[in-house]
Chains A and B, each alone.
Chain A
Amino acid sequence: MTLSVILHFFSTFLRCLKTFVSALTSVLAAIQVVTSQKFALQKVVLQKATVIHWLWKGLLVSICISSPFVNANTGVAFVHGTGDSSDALNDYWTRDMVFSVTGGLPDTSKFVVVNCNFDEYAWSNEAGGCLARQISSFIERESISDLVVITHSYGGTVMRWILSNPTWDRRHPVIINATRSVTAIAPSSLGTPLADAVIDGNRFERVLGWILGYRSPAVELQQEDWMAHYNNTLFYGTAGRPALPVTFKSIVGTDVESSPFDSDSYCGGYAYQVALEVTQEWLDNCSDGFIECRSQAGAGTVWFYDVDRTRRREPLSHHQSRRPCFNLDVFLRNDL
């Protein structure tokens, strides 16, 4: 008992120290920028900065002492998009992305990378059931009381199924109660015309399409008409519907860039960018190559549109938004 109290105190102290050092680094970086731009004002700025620095330090210590999350056990769950995943850490997110983000955790081991069959309907046992099972096990195993869920694409829709349907499964309330927020990167909240484009209604594809890869239930659900119906009946968080029980904030990808002469087009892999330039042709002018901006912004609130925050105002394509491109990983890390 005593040992656990000491360990807890030590962990809290380390977290406060880490937050303080991180903030101090930001302040010093800001001073550096200002002084390099306005050398003549260096002295004045430094004096002001010193005051700000000590005020900031005091504020942080106060926050650390009084924060309700001091006693919280923070964890993060990564939820992949469409597809039947067995190794999402390496195949879907990459280790660079996951470990960069989890670096912001007080205890960097408190994360889970979900692997489920998201070729299925959100409500199916293979998709929503699997997600509920893996996240609730993580919460229980690690005693997580402050969960941040990071989803990509269809993963946001499956997560929204859980949040909107607490009586479907006894694990859903466990997840809702432990979740601080869901960061939905490029969620397919209102569907995508690309799902409509790969689905044909003839009998042949209705019956055999899933074998051919055209008509997986997940693709079917992400058709715009389907999402319009289910958003209006079984899902919460879209316009005119009740709010979700936890914060659901989206990051919206607005464009795809694939210039061979632009090194930014190579972040995440150039070939993906080229393909997404083509798929983007099926969509509105504002899209990440797979999902239109209005769909990504269609549920919960918008945290930010890529170009408003990313390095050099670079857009995040649907592929780049699951990679550590243009500081995306830093925003996610600092949000933990």
Chain B
Amino acid sequence: MIRSTILSLAAFILAGACSLLSSVSLAEASLPSATTNREPLQYVYAVDQSSVQLAPQSEKRAEQAVLLASQEYWFHASGRSLQKGVAISTSSPGALIRVSPLGGRALEPMTFDVIRSDGKVLSASEAFSLSATAEELQGVGLARANTVRLSQAAGTGVVSLRSQAVSNLQAQYRVHVKEKSSSPTLSMSVNQRAFSPGERLTANIEMFMPSKDKSNKRDSSKGVAQSSLPLDEVQGVLVSPLGNLKTVNVIRQSRAHYVVDLPMTVPNDVVPGKLWDLEIKAVSGEIRRNLRFSFAHFPTTAATNDHHLMLTEEGGLQARFSVAVSEPGRYEVRALLAGVNNDGQSMPIAIGHTAAWMEAPGGELALMFDHSLLKQSGLSPPYQLRGVELIDQSRLSKQSARQSY
């Protein structure tokens, strides 16, 4: 009788999860999997009660906006243009420049010279205050590139960097420039870091200049006043995990403010674990900046809409989660078990993980919390599961996280 009741309850929950799943348009094609492990596994460990701050139970997990800043830019140059000299625009002294070959050998720093904006030619020893060869950088883990720092003598503004050692004029190089101190900063805020199909990516783009005028906007991270710079050109491109590029429409709000508003559809390019990139290039007068934002965009493959927590005959607790899936794969549920202390406060007891391979339309995942664990915590009922997360281990993507810890 009890068993049949539990079975009907499970069927009911599964049906609910299935309907929830169908409402979020699941991926239809068979997707690649990062794991082939089909063994069901559970793991539970006690947590230090002071290590997790539990939020009020009703609090929904809020996606946090992401703030990005760049004082860098990069571009590609051919061997021919490097031989003639490529324009490097700097707004403060001491810019770092990294020249990497896209194939072939790296150019040695000592083969470069710099032509200043007033036409004076500086040798490498005059133009660079610091340099490292590709061989030296290889030793510490940076492959195939040199790095130099422009000296005070090189000045600021537009200078020309050229090398007489280019042997292949058709070769391609990436030139990467970074300015660290008090230079204009391209800033982008994005609404969140991970997107499901149906959600929108919205980004605000501005360029700021450190300002002495205290009435101007403040950079909260540094506490310095800054003023917006008008932008002459802003371009955006979306890069898929497979390297497919798509131009993004960047909308002008004002001379100094642009936005990106991207509807996120069901992705075609799915590589387990790999993220997408939104790349922004902005120009303000002679100032150039690039910025890259990596984000998760995986198909919806599973859903869980409820769980049940039952006392076992041994005095432990068993949690059961109904999971509806559209794609074969390994799925995991993680949750924090909380109890109540003498003051009536909800406190953490343990974190549990349970995973198994599932085929469509899904099934149930169970998680056992032993009696000894409950006793050891010194906490009392009512017990609750907090921060339940559903993970698609095959795609390495979090499918849902309904509540804060």
- In the complex, whether A331 has a CB less than 8 A from a CB of chain B is no
A121 to B275, CA, bound (A): 12
Which chain B positions have C-beta within 8 A of A173?
41, 43
Return the chain A residue nearest B296 by Cβ.
A229
Other-chain contact of A281, B96, B242, B279, B353 (Cβ < 8 Å): B96
Residues of B with C-beta under 8 A to A206: 239, 242-243
- Give 30 pairs: A residue, B residue, CB < 8 Å, sorted on A: A81-B141, A166-B41, A166-B45, A167-B41, A168-B37, A168-B393, A169-B37, A172-B43, A173-B41, A173-B43, A176-B43, A197-B72, A197-B98, A207-B243, A212-B143, A213-B144, A225-B294, A228-B193, A229-B294, A242-B405, A271-B136, A271-B139, A274-B132, A275-B139, A275-B140, A278-B136, A281-B149, A282-B147, A289-B140, A290-B141
In the bound complex, residues from chain B placing their C-beta under 8 Å from that of A201 are 237, 239, 277, 279, 292
A residues near B294, Cβ cutoff 8 Å = 223, 225-226, 229
Q: Which residues of A contact B72 (CB under 8 A)?
A: 197
B51 within 8 A of A: yes
**In the complex, chain A residues whose CB is within 8 Å of the CB of B35:** 123, 168
| Chain B contacts with A in 286-302, Cβ cutoff 8 A | 292-296
- Determine the chain A residues whose CB is within 8 A of the CB of B141 once the complex forms: 81-83, 290
Given the interface pairs A234-B396, A282-B178, the reply to whether A167 lies near B43 with Cβ below 8 Å is yes
List which B350-405 residues lie within 8 A (CB) of chain A: 351, 353-355, 387, 391, 393, 396-398, 405
Contacts of B332 in A (CB 8 A): 167
**Interface assignment of B194: CB less than 8 Å from any CB of chain A:** yes
Contacts of A264 in B (CB 8 A): none
Asked whether A84 is an interface residue with its Cβ less than 8 Å from the other chain, the reply is: no
Asked whether any CB of chain B lies closer than 8 Å to the CB of A196, the reply is yes
Q: Please measure, in the bound complex, the distance between the C-alpha atom of A42 and the C-alpha atom of B142, giving whole angstroms.
A: 55
The answer for the CA separation of A333 and B43 in the assembled complex, in Å, is 31
Q: Please report the C-alpha to C-alpha distance between residue A167 and residue B41 in the assembled complex, in whole angstroms.
A: 5
Contact of B194 among A82, A176, A194, A229 (CB under 8 A): A229
Contacts of A278 in B (CB 8 A): 130-132, 136-137, 147, 149
CA distance A173 to B42 in the complex (A): 9
B102 at the interface (CB under 8 A from A): yes
5 nearest A-B residue pairs (beta carbon): A206-B243, A213-B143, A166-B43, A167-B355, A225-B294
Residue B87 lies at the interface, judged by CB distance under 8 Å to chain A: no
Alpha-carbon separation in the docked complex, A167 to B102 (Å): 40
Contacts of B66 in A (CB 8 A): 228
A56 to chain B, nearest CB (A): 31
**How distant is the Cα of A170 from the Cα of B39 in the complex, in angstroms?**
8
Mask of A305-336 contacts with B, CB within 8 angstroms, 1/0: 00000000000001100000000000000000
Instruction: Given A318-B140, A319-B140, answer yes or no on A281-B180 (Cβ-Cβ < 8 Å).
Output: yes
Taking a contact as CB atoms under 8 Å apart, the answer to whether A242 and B336 are in contact is: yes
Give, as a whole number of angstroms, the nearest-CB distance from B125 to chain A: 16
Interface of chain B, helix or strand or loop or mixed?
strand
B71 to chain A, nearest CB (A): 11
Interface residue ranges of B265-286 to A (CB < 8 Å): 273-275, 277, 279
Tell me whether A52 is interfacial, beta carbon within 8 Å: no
* Cα separation A190 to B382 with both chains bound (whole Å): 37
Indicate whether A167 sits within 8 Å of B136 (C-beta atoms), given known contacts A82-B141, A229-B294, A234-B391.
no
Give chain B residues whose Cβ lies under 8 Å from the Cβ of A170: 39, 41
Given known pairs A206-B242, A226-B275, A234-B398, the reply for A242 and B47 (CB within 8 Å) is yes
Knowing A214-B143, A214-B144, A271-B136, the reply to whether A121 touches B273 (Cβ < 8 A) is yes
Contacts of A213 in B (CB 8 A): 143-144
**Taking the complex as formed, is A243 at the interface, i.e. its CB lies under 8 A from any CB of chain B?**
yes
Residue of A nearest to B279 (CB): A201
* Count of chain B residues with a beta carbon within 8 Å of a chain A beta carbon: 71
Asked if B257 is at the interface of the complex by the 8 Å CB criterion, the answer is no
Task: Report yes or no: B130 in contact with A229, Cβ–Cβ below 8 A.
Answer: no
Q: Is the CB of B353 within 8 A of A243?
A: no
Within the assembled complex, what's the spacing in Å between the Cα atoms of A169 and B34? 12
The yes or no answer to B126 lying at the interface (CB within 8 A) is no
Residues of B within 8 A of A290 (CB): 140-141
Residues of B that sit less than 8 Å from A by CB: 34-35, 37, 39, 41-43, 45, 47-48, 51-52, 66, 72, 74, 76, 96, 98, 100, 102-103, 130-132, 136-137, 139-145, 147, 149, 172, 174, 176, 178, 180, 193-194, 237, 239, 242-245, 273-275, 277, 279, 292-296, 332, 336, 351, 353-355, 387, 391, 393, 396-398, 405
Q: Which residues of A contact B42 (CB under 8 A)?
A: 167
A residues sitting closer than 8 Å to B (CB atoms) are 81-83, 121, 123-124, 165-170, 172-173, 176, 194, 196-198, 200-207, 212-214, 220, 223, 225-226, 228-229, 232-234, 242-243, 245, 271-272, 274-279, 281-282, 289-290, 318-319
| Residues from chain A with Cβ under 8 Å of B142 in the complex | 194, 198, 279
Which residues from A are CB-within-8-Å of B279?
Answer: 201
Expressed in whole angstroms, the Cα–Cα distance for A92 and B319 within the complex equals 45
CB-nearest residue of chain B relative to A256?
B140
A145 to B130, CA, bound (A): 50
CB pair B130 A277 closer than 8 Å: yes
Beta-carbon nearest neighbor of A224 in chain B = B294
Contacts of B41 in A (CB 8 A): 166-167, 170, 173
Of B51, B100, B140, B244, the contact of A243 (CB 8 Å cutoff): B51
Minimum C-beta distance from B388 to chain A (A): 13
Apart from A200-B74, A226-B294, A318-B140, 13 more pairs, CB < 8 Å = A121-B273, A166-B43, A168-B393, A197-B72, A201-B237, A212-B103, A214-B100, A275-B132, A278-B131, A278-B136, A278-B137, A281-B149, A282-B178
- Distance to closest chain A CB from B196 (angstroms): 13
The docked-state distance in angstroms from the alpha carbon of A40 to that of B249 is 82
A202 to B48, CA, bound (A): 45
Find out whether the CB atom of A233 lies under 8 angstroms from the CB atom of B275: no
How far is B405's CA from A89's CA once the two chains are assembled, in angstroms?
42
Give Cα A213–Cα B101 distance, bound, in whole angstroms: 11
Q: What residues on A are CB-neighbors of B145 within 8 Å? A: 198
Asked if residues B140 and A272 are in contact (CB atoms below 8 Å), the reply is yes
CA distance A169 to B244 in the complex (A): 33
Give the interface centre of A168, A212, A319 by most chain B CB atoms within 10 Å. A168
